Amino acid sequence: MGQVVADMSAGMSGVMANLGHKLGLYRAMAGAGPMTPAELARKTNTHERYVLEWLNNQAAGGYVEYDPKARTYRLPEEHAMVLANAGSPVFMAPGFDTVSSLWLDEDKVADALRTGKGIGWHEHHHRLFCGTEAFFRPGYRANLVDSWIPALDGIEAKLKVGGKVADVGCGHGASTIVMAQAYPNTTFVASDYHGESIETARQRAEEAGVADRIRFEVASAKDFSGTGYDLVCFMDCFHDLGDPLGAAKHARQALAADGAVMMVEPFAGDAVEDNLNVVGRMFYAASTAVCTPNSLSQEVGLGLGAQAGEARLREIIEEAGFTRCRRATETPFNLVLEARP
């Protein structure tokens, strides 16, 4: 009962967090010190009576601090980094759109469970696309250049001097842009089968000033163009693919002789019982509603699932003809595998 009530509270409060982000309530509180509901309402062009209720929800969840004597509310600086500051490496607020997309697509998922048919990424509510970008970007900003690429054998040096990278299933291009900013001498091919995502990725790259070094293409993971890549990245998309083996084989032939595949996958142990925790719970939900249906909607329809685990991923990598595969590094959310031809 306690768990269910906590989950219902979290579910409803997710909507409140999304409102806080979209109405600019968190941004207005960031760095502003203690505020009354009237001050916050004035600053955000919202109505005080509603803002009071919203603030009390936020205080009950620990997102803001309440001073009962002064009846003021404060967004602590470290909370503002997560909820208000879009430039911060831990900015998560727009990620709640991913959660809302699961509710909005609930009927489609129910049909999929009954019929066994797939749901393509492109068939989901558009909130999924921006929500996913927002959910993954902080991890890419925090880890990709500082930790994941340096963990690959000899790849960072090549990218610094001037290399060639393919970012497969790039979505809105969050990872491509982080890499393009860090390695100005390197060129990138960013591909995804979803045309709408590629359009957004192109815009994002233009805004970030790196579009001149990224070629965007609408292509499946089995037929993105180019060869001689120093690095082929699968950023949180390998398990989504209908035919991951076909994609791994295609990546292998696209690599330079001493190139590497970097596969960033949701963190998972090999056995179900290893994943029965809060992170695994979230990933199994996304896997049921998004990742597995996408895979089942495509050719082969392997349906790896978001918690496939390293051993299963390695089987596919080895079957594709890679001779070396290792866990290069990890975070609480990600496994980072390196495969070499």
Ligand X SMILES: C[S@@+](CC[C@H](N)C(=O)[O-])C[C@H]1O[C@@H](n2cnc3c(N)ncnc32)[C@H](O)[C@@H]1O
Residues that bind ligand X (CB under 6 A): 121, 132-133, 136, 169-171, 174-175, 192-194, 197, 220-221, 235-237, 240-242, 294, 298
CA angle 338, 141, 205 (to 5 degrees): 100
Q: How far is the CB of 21 from ligand X (least distance, A)?
A: 18
Q: With respect to ligand X, which residue has the nearer C-beta, 79 or 194?
A: 194
Q: With respect to ligand X, which residue has the nearer C-beta, 163 or 293?
A: 293
Q: With respect to ligand X, which residue has the nearer C-beta, 133 or 310?
A: 133
SS3 126: coil
CA distance 281 to 12: 18
- Check if the beta carbon of residue 100 is closer than 8 Å to that of residue 18: yes
Place of tokens 């495969």: 339
CA distance 158 to 151: 13
Q: With respect to ligand X, which residue has the nearer C-beta, 174 or 251?
A: 174
Q: How far is the CB of 101 from ligand X (least distance, A)?
A: 12
Q: How far is the CB of 73 from ligand X (least distance, A)?
A: 33
Q: How far is the CB of 240 from ligand X (least distance, A)?
A: 5
CA distance 68 to 70: 6
SS3 4: helix
- Check if the beta carbon of residue 48 is closer than 8 Å to that of residue 41: yes
Which residue's beta carbon is nearest to the bound ligand X? Answer: 171
Q: How far is the CB of 192 from ligand X (least distance, A)?
A: 5
Q: With respect to ligand X, which residue has the nearer C-beta, 205 or 241?
A: 241
Q: How far is the CB of 69 from ligand X (least distance, A)?
A: 45
CA distance 246 to 244: 5
- What tokens were used for 118? 């797939």
Q: With respect to ligand X, which residue has the nearer C-beta, 180 or 237?
A: 237
Place of tokens 């918690």: 307
Q: With respect to ligand X, which residue has the nearer C-beta, 35 or 336?
A: 336
Q: How far is the CB of 74 from ligand X (least distance, A)?
A: 33
Helices 127-139 and 96-104, axial angle in degrees (round to 10): 150
Helix (H) or strand (E) holding 262: strand 255-266
